[in-house]
């Protein structure tokens, strides 16, 4: 995690760096800092807290320069304090910003201490600052010094170094964490993500693992792991700078919840024709792969993992293929047995989540038939490294709590499920019916969003509680899990999800008037069983809040609030539509509690460390 920005220009780069940091805050926001070269002096400002604190510090004590680096932090080594904030400086010679984790930092620190280097922070980054400095003191220029220093590093890094000894260039390196180079007119930039630089340029080059880039105002040279010059493709971003603004909304999360009808329609658009899926949208290799798939293995983290759990229903029940789903941090270390004809699917909004990426890389070496990605960021490592992919078209998701990324993942996974089903005996008639249902989802989501005023009222019942339970059955059990994750993530209320049938095996003991119980009740084959589970809660004095299908036969009564969902939601559509009121509920609970909705404590949007 952490966000880095750097710039070389013939004007003051401080405003570019601060705006870039503001746009990267989703990557971490516990402290921020900037350093620039003014003449041959390194000037630095650092502050605990968000970028606004740093901005204020710069107003109080201005600094300016044409070469600079900046950082917004999500602490891994050392608490969020000013002395742990980046940039880190080595002996007043050079400054560095770093995203990632240096795994062998302890031994390197001992070696550097023995050489007389003093450490002022608890970070792993300071080790890299001293290592590069040590190389420059041996006579190397900045590029050669960084190239030599990174050979000593184990772990993951995206870093940029600026040296007093060379006032015209910055050097960046990438291993396992994203780095993008932005190309301007007479100035150039480096950042963790294109979003940081959209106010300055649309032209980008993406570094690959092992790359080192040397950047000046007039150009960028890129070298591979062996130090050979390489060309990296220049891409034009279609994102607009204001796609990452809040507009009329109080929070990004609310904006992103309300963007869902558009995002879902965009994700479906051009992927189907005549109510049939266009298989070519998965890429040229897809058809040959789909013909051979015998089973599916899905791996992801957090919300994306919940999307995978829903997809299990699409793939097992819809396509008749065995499907296993697990979290990436477990998968990557358990030596999974890979059966013949297994398709590996990684799901990730960012495409840079360290555990998911590591799982993909592991899978590529493990004898799978092929690897597939469901992802929201076209330039991400996940997309570049997978055999086939289907992009969600959610647009930039800034709120740490994932909303539109989840529902667009569900729609993309449903399309994938239909494509696999087609090769496994699904009739044209059923395929057309499924696609028609998917195309209708944006309208149903539109209707579900209209429940907001009622949900705002319900939120008042949760705001003073310490715990909540979420219940679902079948494909809406993962929806309940996602609802619980949303509530705990942004309101800090402890929330757990259970398959409703599991309640009587233990968690029912927790139920009392202080434990609100949320249930999602679509009108499916399990609704009667769900109703019995809800009665079990009511009989123990639990307070139920149920999002129910109008035909589910669930009426409000003492201890049981019922909100009626839109009419005629089909089983394929239910996970998508029932997610929406749960997102709004957690948003409004958090609003009443006054928490930081878009940037909840201790979290970051993009988890690029293990
Ligand atoms: C959910 O609201 C979280 N932000 C988190 O669980 C997230 O889904 C997870 O970190 C995975 O991220 P990814 O989709 O970018 O891989």
Contacts of 535 (CB under 8 A, 6+ apart): none
Give the model's pLDDT for residue 156.
82
Ligand 1 geometric centre to CA of 441 (Å): 23
Distance, CA 347 to ligand 1 centroid (Å)? 10
**Which segments in the chain show pLDDT lower than 70?**
1
Pocket test for ligand 1, best of 253, 256, 300, 303 (most atoms within 8 A of CB): 303
| Cβ atoms within 10 Å of 231's Cβ, excluding its own | 7
What is the Cβ-side half-sphere exposure of residue 596, based on CA atoms within 13 angstroms?
Answer: 13
> Which among 417, 434, 435 is positioned nearest to 296, based on CA atoms?
417
Query: d(Cα 574, Cα 221) in Å, to the nearest integer?
Result: 51
Cα distances (Å, whole numbers) of residue 592 to 50, 376, 546, 600: 22, 31, 21, 14
DSSP string, 282-313: G-TTHHHHHHH--EEEEEE-HHHHHHHHHHHH
Q: Are the C-beta atoms of residues 482 and 313 closer than 8 Å to each other?
A: no
Closest CA to 68 of 121, 136, 20, 119: 20
pLDDT at 596: 93
Q: Is 525 exposed, middle or buried (0-12, 13-18, 19+ CB in 10 A)?
A: exposed
Cα(605) to ligand 1 centroid in Å equals: 7
If one counts every other C-beta atom within 10 angstroms of the C-beta of residue 270, the result is 10
pLDDT (0 to 100) of residue 138: 95
What are the catalytic residues? 2, 605
What is the β-pairing status of strands 94-102 and 155-163? antiparallel
Q: How would you write 150-197 as a 3-class SS string?
A: HCCCCEEEEEEEEECCEEEEEEEEEEECCCEEEECCCCEEEECCHHHH
Residue with CA nearest ligand 1 atom 6: 302
Q: Which residues sit with their C-beta closer than 6 Å to ligand 1?
A: 301-304, 348-350, 353, 356, 400-402, 489, 607
The residues pairing with 96 across neighbouring beta strands, listed in sequence order, are 88, 161
- CA neighbours closer than 13 Å in the CB half-sphere of residue 97: 35
Mutate to test the pocket of ligand 1, among 257, 302, 305, 311 (most ligand atoms within 8 A of CB): 302
Residue 401 CA, closest ligand 1 atom number: 2
Cα 299 from chain centroid (whole Å) = 14
Q: How far apart, in whole angstroms, are the C-alpha atoms of residue 462 and residue 469?
A: 11
Ligand 1 centroid to residue 445 C-alpha, Å: 22
Taking the C-alpha atoms of residue 421 and residue 413, their distance in angstroms, rounded to an integer, is 12
Beta-bridge partner residues of 347: 374
SS3 of residue 500 by DSSP: helix
Tokens 């979003």: give the residue: 195
- Establish how many alpha carbons lie within 13 A of residue 245's alpha carbon, considering only the half-sphere containing its beta carbon: 8
What tens digit of pLDDT does each residue of 87-112 get? 999 999 999 999 988 889 999 999 99
CA-based nearest residue to 302, from 435, 402, 227, 161: 402
Model pLDDT, residue 114: 97
pLDDT digits (tens, 9 = 90+) for 110-120: 999 999 999 99
Q: Say if CB 494 and CB 468 are below 8 A apart.
A: yes
**Residue of 310, 353, 376, 495 best suited for mutating to test ligand 1, as the one with most atoms within 8 Å of CB:** 353
Q: Which residue's C-alpha comes closest to atom 10 of ligand 1?
A: 302
Q: Cα(301) to centroid of ligand 1, in Å?
A: 6
401 Cα to the center of ligand 1, angstroms: 8
Rounded to the nearest 10 degrees, what angle do helices 260-268 and 404-422 cross at?
30
How many angstroms is it from 219 CA to the middle of ligand 1? 35
pTM over 0.85: no
State whether residue 280 is helix, strand or coil: helix
Ligand 1 atom having least distance to the Cα of 607: 10
pLDDT of residue 75: 81
Place of tokens 């819809």: 318
CB 563 within 8 A of CB 454: yes
CA torsion through residues 238, 242, 246, 247, sign? negative
Question: Which atom of ligand 1 approaches the CA of 603 most closely?
Answer: 4
**Residue 322 tokens, joined:** 């065995």
Q: What angle do CA 87, 93, 94 make, to 5 degrees?
A: 35
Instruction: State residue 1's pLDDT score.
Output: 66
What is the share, in percent, of the chain residues with pLDDT greater than 70? Answer: 100
Which of 301, 380, 398, when mutated, tests ligand 1's pocket best, judged by the most ligand atoms within 8 Å of its CB? 301
Distance between Cα 164 and ligand 1 center (Å): 39
pLDDT at residue 573 in the model: 97
């Amino acid at each position: 995690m952490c966000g880095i920005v750097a710039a070389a220009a013939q004007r003051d780069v401080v405003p570019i760096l601060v705006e870039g940091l503001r746009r990267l805050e989703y990557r971490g926001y516990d402290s921020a800092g900037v350093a620039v070269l003014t003449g041959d002096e390194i000037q630095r400002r650092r502050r605990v807290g968000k970028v606004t604190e740093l901005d204020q510090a710069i107003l109080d004590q201005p600094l300016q320069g044409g070469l600079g680096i900046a950082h917004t932090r999500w602490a891994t080594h050392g608490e969020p304090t000013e002395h742990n904030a980046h940039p880190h400086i080595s002996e007043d010679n050079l400054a560095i910003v770093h995203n990632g984790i240096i795994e062998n930092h302890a031994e390197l620190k001992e070696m550097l201490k023995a050489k007389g280097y003093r450490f002022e922070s608890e970070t792993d980054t300071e080790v890299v600052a001293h290592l590069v400095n040590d190389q420059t003191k041996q006579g190397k220029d900045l590029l050669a010094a960084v190239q030599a220093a990174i050979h000593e590093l184990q772990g993951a890094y995206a870093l940029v170094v600026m040296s007093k000894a060379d006032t015209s260039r910055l050097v960046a390196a990438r291993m396992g964490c994203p780095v993008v180079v932005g190309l301007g007119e007479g100035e150039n930039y480096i950042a963790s993500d294109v979003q940081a630089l959209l106010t300055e340029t649309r032209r980008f080059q993406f570094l690959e693992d092992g790359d080192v880039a040397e950047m000046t105002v007039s150009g960028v040279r890129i070298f591979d792991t062996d130090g050979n010059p390489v060309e990296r493709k220049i891409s034009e971003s279609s994102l607009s700078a204001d796609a990452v603004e809040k507009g009329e909304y109080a929070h990004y999360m609310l904006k992103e919840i309300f963007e869902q009808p558009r995002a879902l329609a965009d994700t479906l658009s051009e992927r189907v024709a005549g109510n049939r899926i266009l298989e070519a949208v998965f890429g040229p290799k897809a058809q040959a792969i789909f013909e051979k798939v015998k089973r599916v293995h899905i791996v992801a983290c957090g919300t994306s993992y919940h999307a995978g759990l829903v997809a299990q229903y699409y793939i097992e029940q819809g396509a008749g293929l065995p499907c296993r789903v697990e979290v990436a941090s477990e998968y990557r270390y358990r030596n999974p047995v890979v059966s013949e004809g297994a398709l590996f699917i990684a799901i990730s909004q960012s495409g840079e989540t360290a555990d998911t990426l590591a799982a993909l890389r592991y899978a590529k070496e493990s004898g799978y038939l092929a690897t597939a990605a469901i992802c929201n960021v076209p330039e991400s490592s996940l997309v570049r490294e997978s055999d086939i992919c289907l992009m969600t078209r959610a647009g930039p998701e800034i709120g740490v709590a994932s909303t539109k990324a989840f529902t667009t993942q569900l729609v993309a996974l449903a399309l994938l499920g239909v494509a696999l089903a087609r090769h496994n005996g699904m009739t044209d008639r059923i395929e057309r019916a499924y696609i028609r249902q998917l195309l209708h989802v944006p309208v149903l989501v539109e209707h579900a969003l209209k429940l907001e005023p009622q949900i705002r009222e319900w939120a008042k019942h949760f705001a003073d509680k310490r715990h909540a339970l979420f219940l679902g059955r079948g494909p809406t059990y993962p929806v309940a899990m996602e609802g619980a994750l949303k509530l705990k993530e942004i309101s800090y209320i402890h929330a757990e999800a259970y398959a409703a049938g599991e309640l009587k095996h233990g968690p029912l003991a927790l139920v009392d008037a202080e434990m609100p119980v949320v249930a999602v009740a679509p009108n499916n084959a399990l609704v009667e069983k769900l109703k019995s589970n809800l009665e079990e809660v009511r009989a123990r004095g639990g307070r139920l809040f149920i999002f129910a299908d109008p035909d589910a036969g669930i009426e409000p009564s003492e201890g049981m609030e019922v909100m009626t969902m839109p009419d005629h939601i089909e089983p394929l559509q239910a996970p998508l539509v029932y997610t929406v009121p749960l997102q709004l509920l957690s948003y409004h609970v958090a609003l009443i509690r006054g928490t930081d909705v878009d940037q909840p404590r201790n979290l970051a949007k993009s988890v690029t460390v293990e």
